[in-house]
Amino acid sequence: MILENINKSDTIKNIVKETSLKHIAIIMDGNRRWAKERFLPTAMGHKEGVNALKRTLTACKDYGIEYLTVYAFSTENWNRSKDEVEFLMKLLFQTIKDEILDLNKNEIKVKFIGDLSKLSDSLQNLLYKTENDTKNNNGVNLQIAFNYGSKNEIVNAVKRIIKDGIKAEDIDEALISNYLYTSHIPDPDLLIRTGGEMRISNFLTYQSAYSEILVLEKYWPQFDEKELANAVIEFKRRNRRFGA
């Protein structure tokens, strides 16, 4: 049964503990469609997407969810218009600058995953500084996937394994996991996609082998603490078999 009204976070916190739900990954899809349906510029959709992420972070903190990984910019997103790509870069830069105090105040630990070498020097420096400034925080672990693609991640992992001279007989699933961008965190328990599309779009494909997947029709700017609570309740209903 989906919960329609959340008055207290205690119920959800108890479910999180009961189900050992530690890591939620989200494909934040639908910003552009949300804006288009409201006759608004695309930029407004992306800005509202930032607000949705802020709400989600607060809810994760309230519900006791330890890890949140969000898909912010894929390796394929470079194929969008030059204006939109430039706006997304500026939006990330400005959002980080605006939110760093609140991130620290709320004990959010931030990690950026993806090929950051393709970004401007100023943006790279800000992202690395943000990681360093929040590394000792003890709250929600937020991974922001930026210029991320799972195929690219696996290729880079293989290259590093070869460079390190590891023998073929010593390579196993655990070792490969240790060479991924997400080696510091557990695999996602729940993968949520907003916007109704039935695909995972090159996001955490290795790590999500046994994740429960939930596709929501609502667009990302519409996502809030109630949607997250309902997702947690749906997760409780699932019978995780891990391939068995």
Boundaries of every domain in the chain: 10-149+184-217
What topology does CATH give the domain 10-149+184-217? Undecaprenyl pyrophosphate synthetase (3.40.1180)
- The single residue of 5, 7, 29, 136 carrying the catalytic annotation is 29
The catalytic position among 62, 77, 104, 224 is 77
Digit-by-digit pLDDT tens for the chain (244 residues) are: 444 444 557 889 999 999 999 999 999 999 999 999 999 999 999 999 999 999 999 999 999 999 999 999 999 999 999 999 999 999 999 999 999 999 999 999 999 999 999 999 999 999 999 999 999 999 999 999 999 999 999 999 999 999 999 999 999 999 999 999 999 999 999 999 999 999 999 999 999 999 999 999 999 999 999 999 999 999 999 988 887 6
Quote the pLDDT of residue 10.
Answer: 80
Residue 139 main-chain phi, psi, to 5 deg: -95, -145
Is 115 a known active-site residue? no
The model scores a pTM over 0.85: yes
Fill in the DSSP letter of residue 188: P
In a 3-state reduction of DSSP, which class is residue 190?
Answer: strand
Catalytic-residue membership of 102: no
Q: How far is CA 189 from each of CA 37, 139, 166, 204, 207, rounded to the nearest angstrom?
A: 32, 18, 30, 12, 10
Q: Count CB-CB contacts under 10 A for residue 235.
A: 19
